[in-house]
Amino acid sequence: MGIGMKSDRQNKIMELISHEEISTQEELAQALNDAGFQTTQATVSRDIRELNLTKTARNGKLQYAVFEPSGVTMSDKFIRVLKDGFISMDMAQNILVIKTVPGMAMAVCAALDAMHWPEIVGSIAGDDTIMCAVRTVADTVRLMNKLRNLLQN
């Protein structure tokens, strides 16, 4: 299985859990298969772990959602800096490259550092580009999903 398929599938999982009520691995595997992803429950289980999903009560039912550790509230200031400066991101294996508005890379990089995400080993900022060294390719995919979720809210 190629990395592209995995990230496509994991992106689809994030989309599915944000738009549908999915409370079991079986339901998630079925929704993925319905969307054209041939997948097994073992793969879905691994994706759930890698995407850091948890079950939360919504509408009186337990459903999958992205795990946000309690007590770890990201400052609105950091999120605002991220949203204001962020343009795009791309991955090269375990390196996440983030493009920012010119002159904003240092501020966005400082905001990322302040979030203390365990996937990031270290980061370097230029004028409009940030390079984050990430532990693994899977962590890079997970980090991109976390960033997408943060930027969409």
Residue 71 located in a structural domain: no
Please give the model's pTM, rounded to 2 decimal places.
0.53
Residue 32 located in a structural domain: yes
Residues spanned by the domain of 10: 3-66
Q: Tell whether 148 and 81 lie within a shared domain.
A: yes
Q: Tell whether 84 and 146 lie within a shared domain.
A: yes
Domain count of the fold of the chain: 2
pLDDT at 73: 52
What are the backbone angles phi and psi of residue 136, rounded to the nearest 5°?
-140, 170
Q: Tell whether 55 and 91 lie within a shared domain.
A: no
Write the pLDDT tens digit of every residue in 47-97: 888 877 777 776 677 787 776 554 445 567 788 888 989 999 999 999 999
Q: Tell whether 29 and 81 lie within a shared domain.
A: no
Contacts (Cβ under 8 Å, ≥6 apart) of 2: none
